[in-house]
Each structure stands twice: as structure tokens, then as C-alpha cells.
Amino acid sequence: PAPSPIGVDPLRSVAKEMSFLTGNIQQLLGSGHPMLDTVAKYYTQSEGKYVRPMLVLLMSRATALAPKDSRRVSRYQSVDEPISPSSVLSDVNPSSPLMAESDQTSPETDVLPSQRRLAEITELIHTASLLHDDVIDHSLSRRSAPSANIAFGNKMAVLAGDFLLGRASVALARLRDPEVTELLATVIANLVEGEFMQLKNTAKDEKNPVWTEETVTYYLQKTYLKSASLISKSCRAAALLGQSSPEVVEAAYAYGKNLGLAFQLVDDVLDYTISGEELGKPGGADLELGLATAPLLFAWRENKELGALVGRKFAEDGDVLKARELVARSDGLEQTRALAQEYVDKAIQAISSFPDSEAKDGLIDMIEPSKRLRKAILLNDLSLIKRIVRNNP
Ligand code: FPP
Ligand code: MG
Ligand code: MG
């Protein structure tokens, strides 16, 4: 694709849409119970990276000019009938949580209201999974602040996650698109399946597992479910809501799937290579959590002694240090980076037939590790992300 003119950031094309996101999400999460309201909105207060909504918006714009399937009719209607706010203390929050700004069509852009709502739904599901994840992982911090389980306790964190899924489901139902509903409902199941697979490092529950090709297959399947399913299926849903042709829908899906896999592999590398301060969450956490990610699995292929450590989830004294050393001495990190690059190439290839546009450049920008935004996201540099996204350097 033609490079964008110097000084023009392709993400500009969705900057305006992004600026409404936090407000809309907060409206979707309003509860009449003040405490639930606080916990549910907690992770939306310290503004997140909004990678998933950004991808949905970029995909929506990038497919707007691509071939259409005229047989597909959108039945989405702007919200006309408010759902009742939470039944408790209803006067605390009299407005309908679904009467969000995003229901107003913005004349300047070609993003449909349903696609904008989808962007918000992806963030709700993602945030729900983070609330639950931090309980499972006994996290202490997220986005450089105490995690919700620490700030409010496990019980409230879990319930707030469930509340987010409930509100996401209401918003999803209101899209009046059974195929899109099915996709996003499947994502929720996939997240749980992926997290469940991660509870064990290998398919079989063994004390001293042996490395096989299946070790990597299991890991990639887990990674798809936990990290790529939401991105791939929401990219697919964005194309469906835009009445794209079947080929365009498949391309959107392939882009999201390969991007999601690449993101997670890069994340796995970062856990070994960058400090906690830069990450905004503890570094080197995976081994401490007993997790054998890609760099370790590749190191294991060469150092069979790692099998016993994988089997006991690096739980004995010195295991984590030993594993880290063996990874450092192997080409595990290099192999993981190379695999991530393969997925990056596939993602870019997937959308190569889309008509050239700013949004298409934005989709490519999201994935090129050399690009400014991608780097800012990887480093969790919130102020830089905000400056880029808001185009206010
Ligand atoms: C973050 O991973 C976690 C996920 C991407 C998904 C977690 C899924 C669940 C907890 C299942 C329940 C799902 C729902 C929708 C309620 P991480 O721990 O590797 O990353 P982190 O460093 O951000 O904590
Ligand atoms: Mg975690
Ligand atoms: Mg986790």
C-alpha cells in the first residue's frame, strides 16, 4: 500500500470515534448500586489501550468501500426503548444505560452506529475477562494502579466481571443480528476455554511431560482462544455489520486471527525481556504463574530437562531462575519473534485486496512493530498512545 503522507497518522481516521468510547462505555455500565457502579467502571477509569475497539473501527472503515453482499440486511435500530436501569436504588441512575452517544449517527464518517456499538461491546468483554483474570492470577496491579481484586476484593471483582458480560449481552442483542450475536457469544466461551487450557501447560496432566510437536499445537490453540478469538471474531462481525461480501468477511477474520496470535507472541517475548516498570504490570510474571509460553516451549525442544520443570509448573525453589537461564541460552526468544513475524505477514496479506484507504493503513500500522503506536502500546506508554490517538502531538 502507498505510504500515508508524512505527518498524517492513519489512526486519525478513527480518532473522533475513539474520543466517544470511554463515555459510551461508562453509560453502558451504569448501575443503580453505587458500589457495583464503581467496581464495574473501575478499569474504564484509567483509560485502557482500546486496542480491540480501535481494530473494530478501523476494520469498519477499511471495509466500507470493499465489495458488499446486498442480500445481507442490517436490522439494527438505534435504541428507542430504554432498558430499565438496575432495579436497586433506581433513582441514582435514572438514564438508560444503553442510551449512549454512539446511537447518534456521525455524518462525517462511514462507521455505522452498529459497528460503533460493536467496538464498545468488544471492550466490555475484554474488560470482563481482565476482572476475572486478575482474580485467577492473584494480580496486584494493572495499568499501573492496584488491580480490582486488590482494590475491592475477589468477590466484587468477579461479580463486576459478570455484570459487564450481562451488559455486553444486552447491547449485543440490540444489534438484532443473530450471526454477530453468535460470534461474540462464542468469544465469551472461547475466553473461558483458553483460560482453562492455560491452567495446564500441556494437554495431558503429567509430572514429567515429553516435548512433542503437539506441545506447540496445544499452546497455539490456547493462544487463539484466549488472545485471538475476540479480535478475529469482532473483526469478522464488523465486516458482517457493514454487509461485506463473504470474501471480505473472511479477510477481516484472517487479519484479526493472525494479528491476535502475533500480539500474544510478542507479549510472551516481552514478559522475558522488559522490566515491570515499562510494562505497567510485573515483568517475568509468566514463569512465576507456572506458565510455559512460546519462548520456553522452544527452549524445551532443545533442553529436555525443562520437561520436569514444566510438569511441576516451576514451583520448586530455583525453578524459575533455571528456566529463565535456559531460555536465555536457547534461541527460544528468537524463534518466538520469527513466528510472530509470520503471523504479522499473514495478517497484512489478508487485507491486501482491500481498497487503499487511511483506515487500511491504520490496520497495517496496528501490526507493524516498528510503528510508533504499536511501540507505544507494547510499552504501555499511555500518554504517547493518547497523543497519537487524539492526534495531538
Ligand atoms: C489476560 O491474560 C487474560 C485474558 C486475555 C483472558 C482471560 C479469560 C478468563 C479469565 C476467562 C473468563 C472470561 C470472561 C469473558 C469473563 P494474562 O493473564 O496473560 O495477561 P495480563 O498480563 O494482562 O494479566
Ligand atoms: Mg493476568
Ligand atoms: Mg491470566
Instruction: Report the alpha-carbon distance of residue 258 to residue 266 in Å, rounded.
Output: 12
Instruction: Report the alpha-carbon distance of residue 149 to residue 160 in Å, rounded.
Output: 10
Question: Whats the size of the chain, residue-wise?
Answer: 393
Residues with CB under 5 A from ligand 2 (ion): 133, 137
Crossing angle of helices 319-329 and 246-273, in 10° steps, is 110
Atom of ligand 1 at shortest range from CA of 194: 8
Instruction: Report the alpha-carbon distance of residue 2 to residue 8 in Å, rounded.
Output: 13
Which H helix or E strand runs over 145? Answer: strand 145-146
How far lies 298's CA from each of 42, 211, 262, 295, 332, in Å? 38, 10, 16, 5, 5
Which ligand has the shortest distance to the CA of 129?
Answer: 1
Instruction: Report the alpha-carbon distance of residue 136 to residue 292 in Å, rounded.
Output: 17
Atom of ligand 1 at shortest range from CA of 133: 10
Q: Tens place of pLDDT for every residue, the chain, 393 residues?
A: 444 444 446 567 788 888 888 889 999 999 999 999 999 999 988 767 788 999 999 999 999 989 998 777 666 655 444 434 443 333 333 344 454 444 444 445 689 999 999 999 999 999 999 999 999 999 999 988 999 999 999 999 999 999 999 999 999 999 999 999 999 999 999 999 999 999 988 888 888 999 999 999 999 999 999 999 999 999 999 999 999 999 999 999 999 999 999 999 988 988 898 755 555 556 678 999 999 999 999 999 999 999 999 999 999 999 999 999 999 999 999 999 999 989 999 999 999 999 999 999 999 988 875 555 556 655 555 566 555 554 433
Atom of ligand 1 at shortest range from CA of 132: 10
Q: Which of 125, 130, 133 to mutate to test the pocket of ligand 1 (most atoms within 8 A of CB)?
A: 133
Q: Which of 43, 129, 158 to mutate to test the pocket of ligand 1 (most atoms within 8 A of CB)?
A: 129
- pTM (two decimals): 0.86
Please state the ipTM of this predicted complex. 0.96
CA of 134 from ligand 3 middle (Å) equals 7
Residue nearest to atom 11 of ligand 1 (CA): 192
User: Could you write out the three-class secondary structure of 174-192?
Assistant: CCCCHHHHHHHHHHHHHHH
